[in-house]
Structure 1
């Protein structure tokens, strides 16, 4: 009688191969790992898509903010140009010629209209009525429809030519230009109609008008070798500045841009 070998007895115990069982388990484990990896990838892709969508929304909001600020600034500049042109036209009809600069932001009043004598800063009495008229027209025009609300400040700036002046306790042309601007402002403060200017306030609640002097440092005519050249620089400018974005507004925009860049870069 033939003796069966161990291998033959194992074959009779069943058809399953232990090696195939191990391979099947391995394939199941790999398939599970693949599925889990795929799920993780899908979740990450969804997170990235969500972040990208949020970033696009932030960019759109940022662009809208920029557009709104630019539109507001353009409208303010348009209103300012409209006011200065209207002031010049109304004064011209009364025989008072003033100049509006190319940027439509400065109204220049030659000091000859105010009768300042050489070295003097007092508005001549014979010219006081003309000075009052200028103030009244300015007050009337910028107060119409409260258009002054687009303005941040109106500077009443005094300017002289480059002829040396040693008076006013050594302050020279700087002191002379400053006191001339102050003198005009005081005429407006005390005159009916023109005195409305001192009551006007900016959106920040501060007085709308302020006074300063620059002496000969900001000439509009470089050639001062002739009397006509010097005369162009002897003037009082009304510089109208419009409300612009604050440092806080600009910082907020920069902060948003940094956040968007960081989100997109993740």
Structure 2
């Protein structure tokens, strides 16, 4: 082989050797870079895992925060609704309190008016009662003066309104006829009644009456009474029934006598336009407290005639109007 050929061969081998070395070097560098990349990739994967874990924790924390925020909003909404409800309830309570206060004020005003009307009615009723009592006393006193002027004996009880004629109109035991003396007494009694009663009742002309005289009488009863002696051969019940009839007969005898002689008495009326004069018989059931024994004097006292003057219970128109006003106020307060 020539020297040139050896030189070319040597150069060629040297070139391949250099390329091989270069390739080896490049491969080494590549392997080194791959190693570095692998190491970096491993580190980046670990960092990525950490980041992913942190992101997951952050998401969980965010979800918890959102849940807490939702719960807080729900609580706040519930609180707002409750506050609105309480405010509405407070307004209703306030409106109810105002309505109750207004109703209380209305009731107080109504009670004051009712109290005033009641006081007015009570005062008016007291005045009417006082006027009636005064009128009845005037009636009894005028009757007493008339009877005294005619020398007729009587007993006057102003509290019960009774004029008693025990001794003036006597009756025999078991009898109802008037004696001549009793008849004259009844005639005088009728005259006095005819003079006085028209001033205190309706229906007859008012003559010689005083300004204070007012129609106050509901009735004037001629009352008959008997003593307590039993009738012979009768049971107690039959004897009492016989005394009832006898007392009524005595009252009717006096009643007929005064009406026959004084026709004006039949014209007298009470406030209901009913006849004023009437009759009642009590038998032996109302003996005089001062004549309770069976002595002849006490028995004679109980065979008697009483005149009872009963006051009218009717109220005046003014009292009736007041009572109607009071009833209306009471109904208004009970609604």
Offset from partner CA, 1:26-66 (integer Å, 9 cap, x none)? 86776566455424422321122112211332233233223
- Output the CA distance in 1 between the equivalents of 2:89 and 2:247: 85
- Output the CA distance in 2 between the equivalents of 1:155 and 1:145: 15
Determine the structure 2 residue equivalent to 1:153.
219
Q: With CA pairs under 8 Å and 6+ residues apart, which has the higher RCO, 1 or 2? A: 1
Judged with a 3 Å threshold, the aligned counterparts in structure 2 of structure 1 residues 224 and 195 are, in CA distance, closer, same or farther, namely: farther
Instruction: Determine if the alignment matches structure 1 residue 198 to structure 2 residue 266.
Output: yes
SS at match of 2:254: helix
Determine the structure 2 residue equivalent to 1:140.
195
Unaligned runs of 5+ in 2: 1-57, 63-72, 202-212
TM-score after normalising by structure 2? 0.61
SS at match of 2:228: coil
Judged with a 3 Å threshold, the aligned counterparts in structure 2 of structure 1 residues 46 and 218 are, in CA distance, closer, same or farther, namely: same
Q: Is the 8 A contact 2:226 2:283 kept in 1?
A: yes
- Output the CA distance in 1 between the equivalents of 2:274 and 2:200: 19
SS at match of 2:164: strand
Q: 2:302 aligns with which of 226, 230, 233?
A: 233
Judged with a 3 Å threshold, the aligned counterparts in structure 2 of structure 1 residues 46 and 118 are, in CA distance, closer, same or farther, namely: same
TM-score after normalising by structure 1? 0.75
SS at match of 2:165: strand
- Output the CA distance in 2 between the equivalents of 1:105 and 1:85: 11
Offset from partner CA, 1:131-157 (integer Å, 9 cap, x none)? 111111022112236547201111110
- Output the CA distance in 1 between the equivalents of 2:247 and 2:327: 45
Determine the structure 2 residue equivalent to 1:121.
176
Q: Displacement of 1:179 after TM fit?
A: 0.6
SS at match of 1:238: strand
Q: 2:277 aligns with which of 191, 194, 209?
A: 209
Offset from partner CA, 1:60-97 (integer Å, 9 cap, x none)? 32332233223212321221122112211221122111
Alignment of 1:159-174 (within 5 A): 159-165=225-231, 171-174=241-244
Determine the structure 2 residue equivalent to 1:14.
none
Q: Displacement of 1:190 after TM fit?
A: 1.1
Q: Displacement of 1:25 after TM fit?
A: 9.2
SS at match of 2:251: helix
Extract structure 1 runs of 4+ deviating beyond 6 A.
21-29
Judged with a 3 Å threshold, the aligned counterparts in structure 2 of structure 1 residues 63 and 257 are, in CA distance, closer, same or farther, namely: farther
Determine the structure 1 residue equivalent to 2:313.
244
SS at match of 1:225: coil
Q: Displacement of 1:260 after TM fit?
A: 7.4
Judged with a 3 Å threshold, the aligned counterparts in structure 2 of structure 1 residues 29 and 177 are, in CA distance, closer, same or farther, namely: closer
- Output the CA distance in 1 between the equivalents of 2:232 and 2:266: 32
Unaligned runs of 5+ in 1: 8-17
Q: Which has the higher helix share?
A: 2
Q: Displacement of 1:106 after TM fit?
A: 0.3
- Output the CA distance in 2 between the equivalents of 1:160 and 1:46: 68
Q: Is the 8 A contact 2:163 2:306 kept in 1?
A: yes
